[in-house]
Amino acid sequence: MEQKHGILLLNKPKGMSSAFAIGRLKKLGQKKIGHAGTLDPMATGLLIVLLGEATKISGYLLENGEKTYSGTLELGKTTDTWDTEGTIVSQKDYSFVTEETLENAVKDWLGTSIQEVPPYSAAKHNGQALYKLARAGKEVPVKTKEIHISHAEIQWVDLPSMRFRVTCSSGSYIRSLAHSLGMRLGCGAMLTELTREYSHPFSLQDAVTLEELQENPEILNNRLISLEKGLPNWRVIELAERDVKAVKNGNPIQTAESNFTENEKVFLSFQGDILAIAEAKILENKNSWQILRGLVTL
How many CB atoms are located within 10 Å of the residue 188 CB?
24
CB contact burial 115-142 (16+ within 10 A = b; e otherwise): bebbbbbebebeeeebbebbeeeeebee
Largest CA distance in the chain: 73
* Of 80, 67, 82, 109, residue with least CA distance to 191: 82
Angle at 191 between CA 209 and CA 174, to 5 degrees: 75
- Asked whether 165 and 193 are in contact (CB, 8 A), the reply is no
Catalytic-labelled residue, pool 40, 80, 83, 108:
40
What SS3 state is found at 158? strand
Is residue 243 flagged as an active site residue?
no
Catalytic sites, residue numbers: 40
